[in-house]
Structure 1
């Protein structure tokens, strides 16, 4: 069974997915960060493929991506790093980036490299569902990879159902009509949006992303779906002490999980 599928079959709540940009803050940070995230208790690790023209990323992730590219990060280097990281952890690894990167690398070559490196899933926000079905689905299915699609507050119910049919991994529930790194408070309007998705009774696991930044917003997100995704807040933490990425990673994850665990036990 794919590690991502196994995760959601074994854990259906409080799933913590941490996103970081590969090659940030240093080119060789990727493996230590993955190892530290796994050791600290992250359930799922989302590895960002730095890209010069991102669509959904806010300032924090954009800057980390540019820094990573300046550091010399490429897909070839990233696959080598993921191969090394996989030797140290069995936590699911998902690559997030843009389909243009896949096209430039070569879709078949990309998928084969991802599988060989121990990747479990892909998130490609600019990949249309129809193009996925036509050109990419068979490749990823043959490789045993899972693909996640995003839904937003503007996505219609019919469209959400179509996306659910295409998503073989979890559904990425974008919390608001914004870029990453936005407000860290969950509003009544967002809660109504989460209720709307929940009422559709989709079979897919669901993780909330965008604006999830601390233990409080993580706990709130977990009240609605299987868990949440934290990215920009973690990258900001890494940037504060670039020489201590392992210690920073451990501390950050503990800060998210320990309040959640204590609340759950009450």
Structure 2
């Protein structure tokens, strides 16, 4: 099960405290903001960071994150630039980093090379929502293992018990539990799926479970913590970056969130 020995995600989830994670899109709002954002989040009480790999045809994201992908690509963000940025700042920050994106750009880059660069840059986990479990087991698991890279998978209200068990057995680091069936940043509330959330709480998972999608406020985080081991804030954070990264404004948002 525990194939990654130096992985920071393994360390942070050893403590029982509930975790808070922030998602942002690499290269947004400006190409070099990735470094400043990582530095600021590392200074805050955020436990780990999810960085989105910008892609023009992302299917799970709502309007806010799709727009951030568009701007990041226009800014010239590439996978190689992202790896260089993370590697550059790793001497200064130790916060765990998870990359999230679509299979297409990773496949185009070269999957084995991508995993190797993750290891070199200091990436801890990889979440590819459109990577089928069977293909992960058959073709890609070995590259995750060779590069101390945690395979992170998603579960949703449609995931039945048997599939949850299989996802849990194959995943490492944590399981990303969608709060509902909508895209990121929708108007849905995380309390709209109370039966599913209770099912998550009652299930005996091997891995920690972190709830994401439509978590916007401190109250949302506290609600999520009743059912999971932590929460991820995405679109609400990305909204604060629109128009340019302002450190004080971003710090204020994070303070209100914690």
TM-score w.r.t. the length of structure 1 is 0.92
**What CA distance in whole angstroms lies between the structure 2 residues aligned with 1:248 and 1:166?**
39
Q: Which residue of 2 aligns with 1:2?
A: 7
Please give the secondary structure, in 2, of the residue aligned with 1:223: coil
**Does 1:220 pair with 2:223?**
yes
**What CA distance in whole angstroms lies between the structure 1 residues aligned with 2:8 and 2:91?**
14
Q: Give how far 1:198 is off.
A: 2.2
Q: Which residue of 2 aligns with 1:185?
A: 189
Q: Which residue of 2 aligns with 1:198?
A: 201
Q: Which residue of 2 aligns with 1:65?
A: 69
Matches within 5 A, 1:76-155: 76-155=80-159
Q: Give how far 1:247 is off.
A: 2.2
Please give the secondary structure, in 2, of the residue aligned with 1:24: coil
Please give the secondary structure, in 2, of the residue aligned with 1:224: coil
Please give the secondary structure, in 2, of the residue aligned with 1:27: coil
Structure 1 segments (4+ residues) deviating >3 Å: none
Q: Is the 8 A contact 2:33 2:245 kept in 1?
A: no
Q: Which residue of 1 aligns with 2:19?
A: 15
**What CA distance in whole angstroms lies between the structure 2 residues aligned with 1:68 and 1:199?**
40
CA deviations over 1:145-200 (Å, ceiling 9, x no partner): 1011001101111111111111112000001011000236333x522101112222
CA RMSD of aligned residues (A): 1.1
Which ranges in structure 1 are unaligned for 5 or more consecutive residues? 258-266
Q: Is the 8 A contact 2:22 2:46 kept in 1?
A: yes
CA deviations over 1:17-47 (Å, ceiling 9, x no partner): 1000000000010000010011011100001
Q: Give how far 1:243 is off.
A: 4.5
**Does 1:230 pair with 2:233?**
yes
CA deviations over 1:37-60 (Å, ceiling 9, x no partner): 110111000011000110101110
More helix by share: 1
Q: Give how far 1:13 is off.
A: 3.2
